[in-house]
């Protein structure tokens, strides 16, 4: 689904997180960044994925990564998700789909025989210079941190 590949420059983004704080790609200059896109806060698979990253957050940080989650949920849904699951990283509330579309993860999906547009669960690893070093399109929610670190 994504049009971005390893070696591409990550798109500039700016969106508010669950606390209303504006976050941009520039905020992470000089740091490695995991940007994971998920379809909807507080749904079963998204919760498993987010909690796997939470449970392995120390290992991700030891490897030099900051973590940022993104979905089209509003600030209040993101805040509730973050607080309920004790997520130690920010969640962007990209209601206008600007970040989602910039990373190319919005498009047709099928569920129960119906086709609709939505977010494709995808993770990008971005290096200290803003270059994509890995794109994970076949996200395995239960072992996602292993996919990132492996």
Of 40, 35, 47, nearest to 84 by C-alpha is 47
**30-59 average pLDDT score:** 97
Among this protein's residues, is 51 annotated catalytic?
A: no
Residue from 46, 68, 92, 139 carrying the catalytic annotation = 46
Q: How many CB atoms are closer than 10 A to CB 127? A: 15
pTM beyond 0.85: the answer is yes
pLDDT class of 112 with cuts at 50, 70, 90: confident
- What pLDDT shows up at residue 131? 97
Q: What is the pLDDT of residues 78-110, one digit of tens each?
A: 999 999 999 999 999 999 999 999 999 999 998
Q: H or E element: which one contains 75?
A: helix 75-85
- pLDDT bin (cut points 50, 70, 90) of residue 50 is very high
**Count of CB atoms within 10 A of residue 15's CB?**
20
Main-chain dihedrals φ then ψ at residue 123, nearest 5 degrees: -125, 140
pLDDT at 150: 87
């Amino acid at each position: 689904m994504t049009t971005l590949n390893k070696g591409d420059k990550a798109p500039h983004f700016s969106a508010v997180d669950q606390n209303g704080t504006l976050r941009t790609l520039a905020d992470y200059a000089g740091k490695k960044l995991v940007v994971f896109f998920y379809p909807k806060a507080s749904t079963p698979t998204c919760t498993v994925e987010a909690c796997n990253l939470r449970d392995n957050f120390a290992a991700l940080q030891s490897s030099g990564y900051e973590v940022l989650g993104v979905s089209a949920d509003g600030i209040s849904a993101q805040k509730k998700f973050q607080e309920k699951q004790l997520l130690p990283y920010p969640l962007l509330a990209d209601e206008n789909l600007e970040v989602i579309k910039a990373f190319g993860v919005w498009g047709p999906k099928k569920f129960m025989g119906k086709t609709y547009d939505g977010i494709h669960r995808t993770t990008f690893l971005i290096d200290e210079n803003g270059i994509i070093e890995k794109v994970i399109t076949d996200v395995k929610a239960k072992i996602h941190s292993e996919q990132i670190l492996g």
